[in-house]
């Protein structure tokens, strides 16, 4: 039963940092566009590549949460025990 | 019964960071518009794409909370046990 | 009985971040209007769209709190058990 | 009996963030008026709309606290049990 | 007996944020008056309206604390039980 | 007996925020007087009105602490029980 | 016996904020005197009135601590019980 | 026996804030002297009056700690009990 | 069973710092591009090499989490015990 | 036996704030000397008087710690009990 | 069994600081390149040497985690006991 | 046995603040030398006197730790008991 | 068995501060090189000597962790007991 | 056995502050060299003397940790008991 708590905890805690990091990067990107409108395509492209990289840590947590809930190897052990 | 606590905890903690991150990005966006009114469409478009990306981490938590409350695989096990 | 605690905790914790985020965005919006009075309509419109997006995370928590108090699927189980 | 604790905790914690957020927005509004006295009506109007939106998260907590104290659905269950 | 603790905790925690928020707003108001003495009436009026709005969250806590101590609906239940 | 702890805790925690808020407002007031000596009466008057408003949250805590120690309605119940 | 702990805790915690607040106000006052030596009497007078107001929250705690140690109404109850 | 812990805790915690507050005021005083050497007597006098006021909160804690260790009214009760 | 908790905790905590660090680096990169558009290729290349290095600490956590869940050497011991 | 823990805790916690406060005052003093080399004697004298005042809070803790370890009035009670 | 928890905890906590430190250094490096494009090779080389040095603390943790999981000297003791 | 824990705790916690305070003072001293190379002897002398004063709080902790480990008055009591 | 936890905890906590400190020093070094390219060799040399000094605290922790795991003097006592 | 935990805790916590303090001093030293290259020998010499002083607090912890592990006076007591 503890895996429910763990899954919720994992996805909840694991989404704090990416959201903060992305918010910071996004805020700075808008400031950068306002300072150098001519570099807008370069900034936007770098921003989205970087956001995807940060998002990947959130996805790691999401994957682990799903593994814990649906496909953890202890399931068969518990079911059979 | 612990899944109720987990669901509430997940959505409560999981919505802290996106709200803070979006608030920061939005605040910077308004500052950017004030500095470069001519780039307003570009800033607004980048802002909303980025907000959607940050919102996605909140939605991950919302999805996991709903899964925990309505469709977790342990339900059948508990019901049958 | 634990669902009362969870509901109160969810809505209490879940309303911290949106309030802080909206306060920050609103504060910056007023600063932006003071710097660029001519862009006041654009800033106000962007502000309200963004506030609605941040408010959505508070509403997620409110929805989950109401579900926990009035319509959680464990209710029938407890009532019948 | 736990609902008394929950109600007090909910309204106490739930009023931290709105008060801080409103304090911040109000402080910035006064600064904005001092910088652009001519935009005073616009700033004041935007301020009050935004304060109302922030206040709404405090009211969510107030509503949930009252529901927990006076009208929670578990009441009949406890009274009848 | 727990309602005594809750009442004290509610009013103690619930008065942290309003005091901080009001202190911040008041500090900024004085700075604003020093920068724009001519706008002193407008700033003072906006300040007091905003302070009243922040004070309202402290009053919510005060009301809930009084309800918990003098008029909570569980009282009859305990007295009769 | 718990009411002694509660009373001490209430007045101790409840006096943190007003003291900090008043300290901040007072510090800013002195800075404002230094910047605009001519506005000294206005600043002083606004300062004392605002300090009284902040002090009110400390007084709420003081009142609740005294009620808890001397006049709480549970007293008769305990004395009679 | 718990009243000893409470008295110590009350005066210890209750003197944190006034000391910090007064330190901040005093620091700013010195800066203000350095910026506007001509306004030194006004600044000093406002400073001491404000310090007295902040000190009052520390005195509230001191009073409550003494009441708890020497004159709390439960004393007779304990002595008689 | 608990009074030993309380006395140590009281004086330890109660000396944190005065030391920080005095450190801050002292630091600012030195900066003020560097900016306005001509006002050095006024600054030094105001500094020492203010430091004495901050020190008073530390002395409150020291007094309460000594009372707890040597002269608390429960002593006779324990000795006689 | 404790390994489920550990795995979730590891990946959740372990992804906080990389996300924050990457968000900071990305934000600064965008600022740097806005300041020196001509150095955009150098900045982007350095950014991605550095991000990969930061990401490596997240991958360490991911590897350890997978080892804990699927291939920890205690598994045979528990299965055989 | 608890007095050993208390003594260590008292001197450990009680030396945090004076060290930080003195570090801050010392740092500012060096900056002040660098800005106004001519006022170096005044700054140094004020610094050492202030440091002695801050040090006094550390000495309060040291005294209480020694009292707790060597001369607390409960000692005879324990030895005789 | 506790070594699983320890390994996860070690690598999770141990990767917080390196990631933050590297993020900070990387962010500053990009800023430095933007300010002095001509020194780009020197900055990049110093950056990577420094990153490797910071990374070493993360590797210490990784090594200890692996030792704890696969080769700790208590293993034989437990297996033989 | 608890005195081992206390000694370690005392010296560990007691060395946090002096190290931070000295680091801050040292950092500012270097900045001061860079700004006023001509005042280098005065700054260095004041720095070392101040560092010695800060170091004294660490030495208090070291002395108390040694007293606790080697010469605490309870030792004979325990040995004889 | 507790030595496994201690070893992991020691190296995990002990590597936080060096990594942060080195990251800060490295970041400042890059800024310094960007400001004074001509002093690059001096800065780099001072940086590496300082980094080695900071790294030494991490190595202290690493040494203690290894001692705890492989060569602690209690081992023979436990093995023989 | 508790001395293992204490030793690890002592050296882990005790190395946080020196590492941070040294990192700060080192970072400022590099900045100072960049601002005043001519004062480089003076800055470097002062830096290393100060670092040695800060390092001393880490060495205090290291000494206490070694004493606790190898030569604490309770050892004979435990071995003989």
pLDDT (0 to 100) of residue C12? 79
Would you call I18 an interface residue with chain A, using a CB distance cutoff of 8 Å? yes
Please state which of the ranges B45-49, H52-56, I39-43, L2-6 shows the lowest mean pLDDT. Answer: L2-6
pLDDT at H81: 46
Q: Is the pLDDT of residue M54 over 50?
A: yes
Contact status, residue H62 vs residue G5, Cβ threshold 8 Å: no
For residue H7, pLDDT beyond 70: yes
Q: What is the mean pLDDT of residues L50-57?
A: 83
Task: Name the residue with higher pLDDT: G72 or I19.
Answer: I19
Task: State how far the Cα of D20 lies from the Cα of C18, in Å rounded to an integer.
Answer: 12
| Residue in the structure block whose two tokens are 């070493």 | K56
Q: Is H12 close to J9, i.e. CB distance below 8 A?
A: yes
> Does residue F79 lie in a domain region?
no
Please determine, for residue D61, whether its predicted confidence score (pLDDT) is greater than 50.
Answer: yes
| Interface residue of J16, J26, J42 to substitute, partner L, most L CBs within 10 Å | J26
> For position E81, what pLDDT does the model report?
46
Question: Has residue E76 got a pLDDT over 60?
Answer: no
Count the neighbouring beta carbons within 10 Å of the beta carbon of residue K78: 13
User: Is the torsion defined by CA of G16, G18, G24, G26 positive or negative?
Assistant: negative
- With a CB cutoff of 8 Å and minimum separation 6, the contacts of J69 are J3, J4, J7, L67, L72, L73
Please state the separation of Cα M18 from the chain's center in Å.
5
**Mean pLDDT calculated for residue range H18-37:** 83
Check if the beta carbon of residue E13 is closer than 8 Å to that of residue F52: no
The reported pLDDT for the residue numbered B49 is 83
Residues of H in contact with J41 (CB under 8 A): none
Average pLDDT value for residue range E17-39: 82
Distance CA B38, CA B48 (A): 18
Find chain H residues with C-beta within 8 A of J13's C-beta.
12-13, 16
Query: What local confidence, expressed as pLDDT, does residue A81 receive?
Result: 46
Q: Is the pLDDT of residue H75 over 70?
A: no
Q: Would the CB atoms of N22 and M60 count as touching at under 8 Å? A: no
Are N74 and L1 within 8 A, CB to CB?
yes
Cα E70 from chain centroid (whole Å) = 20
Provide the percentage of residues in chain F whose pLDDT is more than 70: 80
Average pLDDT value for residue range H57-80: 66
Nearest to D64 among C11, C18, C33 (CB): C11
What distance in Å separates residue I30's CA from the closest CA in chain K?
9
Residue L21, in any domain of the structure: yes
As a whole-number percent, the residues of chain L with pLDDT over 70 amount to 80
Residues 20-79 of E with CB under 8 A from D: 20-25, 27-29, 31-33, 35-36, 38-39, 42-43, 46-47, 49-51, 53-54, 56-58, 60-61, 64-65, 67-68, 72-74, 77
Show residues of chain F in contact with G73, CB under 8 Å.
69-70
Radius of gyration of chain A (CA): 19
* pLDDT value for F29: 84
pLDDT tens, I5-17?
A: 777 777 878 778 8
Mean pLDDT of chain B: 76
* Helix (H) or strand (E) run with residue B43 in it: helix B40-70
CB C35 within 8 A of CB B34: yes
**Both tokens of residue D75?**
């009441």
- Under an 8 A CB cutoff, do B60 and A62 touch? yes
Q: What is the distance of C-alpha H22 from the center of its chain?
A: 9
Number of CB atoms found within 10 A of residue F45's CB: 11
**B46-to-A28, A43, B37, B42, B63 alpha-carbon distances in Å:** 12, 10, 15, 6, 25
User: Is L39–J33 a contact, with Cβ atoms under 8 angstroms apart?
Assistant: yes
Q: Where in chain E does DSSP place strands (E)?
A: none
pLDDT at A1 over 80: no
As given in the structure block, the two tokens for residue G27 are 């620091």
Structural domain that includes position D14: 2-69
Contact residues on chain K for M31, CB-CB shorter than 8 A = 28, 31-32
The more confidently predicted of residues K39 and M79 is: K39
For C59, J31, L22, L23, L32, the CA distances from L36, given in Å and listed in that order, are 58, 9, 20, 20, 6
Judged against a pLDDT cut of 60, whether residue F73 lies above it is answered with: no
Mean pLDDT of chain C: 76
d(C-alpha J25, C-alpha L78), whole Å = 45
Q: What does the pLDDT average to over J42-69? A: 80
- Closest residue to F46, CB basis, from E8, E18, E29: E29
The answer to whether the CB atoms of H30 and J27 lie below 8 A apart is: no
- CB-CB neighbors (< 8 A) of M33 in chain N: 34
pLDDT tens column, F13-70: 877 888 888 888 888 888 888 877 877 888 888 888 888 888 888 887 877 777 776 6
Q: What is the mean pLDDT of residues N54-76?
A: 71
The candidate with the shortest Cα–Cα distance to F14, out of C12, H24, D10, E61, is E61
**Within-domain flag for H43:** yes
Please tell me which residue of chain G has the smallest CA distance to H6: G5
**DSSP secondary structure string, C7-73?**
HHHHHHHHTHHHHHHHHHHHHHHHHHHHH-GGGHHHHHHHHHHHHHHHHHHHHHHHHHHHHHHH--T
Question: Rounded mean pLDDT of D38-67?
Answer: 80
pLDDT of residue D47: 84
Residue N81 has pLDDT above 50, yes or no: no
Indicate if the pLDDT at residue D77 is higher than 60: no
Alpha carbons K73 and M2: distance in angstroms, whole number = 13
Give the percent of chain E with pLDDT over 90.
0
Sort out which chain M residues have CB atoms less than 8 A from N76's CB and list them.
none
Nearest residue of G to residue F63, measured between CA atoms: G60
> Within a domain: residue L79?
no
Rounded CA Rg of chain N: 19
Confidence grade of residue L1 (pLDDT, cut at 50, 70, 90):
low
- The whole-angstrom separation of Cα G41 and Cα A36 is 50
> Higher-confidence residue: D6 or G47?
G47
What's the pLDDT band for F71 if we cut at 50, 70, 90? low
Answer whether residue J37 shows pLDDT above 60: yes
pLDDT, mean of residues E7-32: 82
Q: Residue B38 domain-assigned? A: yes
Residue N67 tokens, joined? 């004493």
Any idea which residue has 């970072």 for tokens?
A: N27
- Angle subtended at Cα E40 by Cα E35 and Cα E43, rounded to the nearest 5 degrees: 95
Whether residue M31 has pLDDT greater than 60? yes
Q: How many CB atoms lie within 10 A of CB B81?
A: 6
Token pair listed for N20:
């941070």
Evaluate if residue A77 carries a pLDDT over 60. no
Report the pLDDT value the prediction gives residue I48, as an integer from 0 to 100. 84
Q: What is the pLDDT of residue C81?
A: 46
Tell me what the mean pLDDT of segment H45-70 comes to: 79
| pLDDT over 80 at K25, yes or no | yes
| Residue with the larger pLDDT of the pair B72 and E33 | E33
Both tokens assigned to E10: 């509610």
pLDDT of residue E40: 80
**Do N33 and L31 touch, CB atoms closer than 8 A?**
no
CA distance G37 to chain H (A): 7
pLDDT of residue C70: 66
**What is the domain count for chain H?**
1
Average pLDDT over residues C59-77: 67
Burial pattern H23-62, b for ≥16 Cβ within 10 A else e, equals bbbbbbbbbbbbbbeebbebbbebbbebbebbbbbbbbbb
What confidence tier does J81 reach under pLDDT thresholds 50, 70, 90?
very low
For the residues C33-60, what does the mean pLDDT come to? 81
CATH code for the domain in which residue F25 is found: 1.20.20.10
What is the per-residue pLDDT across I48-75, written as a single tens digit (0 to 9) for each?
Answer: 888 888 888 888 787 777 777 665 555 5
Q: Which residue has the tokens 């930080």?
A: J20
N75 assigned to some structural domain:
no
> End-to-end alpha-carbon separation of chain F, Å?
15
- Residue K46 or B71, more confident: K46
Instruction: Work out the angle at residue B72's Cα, subtended by the Cα atoms of residues B69 and B78, and round it to the nearest 5 degrees.
Output: 100
Task: Please give the mean pLDDT across all residues of chain M.
Answer: 76
For residue L65, tell me if it sits in a domain: yes
| Predicted pLDDT of residue G74 | 52
Q: pLDDT at position F2, please?
A: 64
Residue E76 inside a domain? The answer is no
Q: How far is C22 from chain D (nearest CA, A)?
A: 7
Question: Residue I70's pLDDT is what?
Answer: 66
Question: Is the confidence at residue A10, as pLDDT, over 70?
Answer: yes
Instruction: With CA atoms as reference, report the closest residue to I25 among I56, I9, I48.
Output: I48
């Amino acid at each position: 039963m503890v895996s429910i708590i763990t899954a919720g905890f994992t996805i909840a805690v694991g989404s704090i940092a990416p959201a903060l990091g992305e918010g910071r990067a996004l805020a700075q990107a808008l400031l950068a566009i306002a300072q150098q409108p001519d570099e807008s395509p370069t900034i936007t492209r770098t921003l989205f590549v970087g956001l995807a990289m940060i998002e990947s840590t959130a996805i790691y947590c999401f994957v682990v949460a799903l593994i814990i809930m649906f496909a953890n190897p202890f399931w068969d052990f518990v079911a059979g025990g």
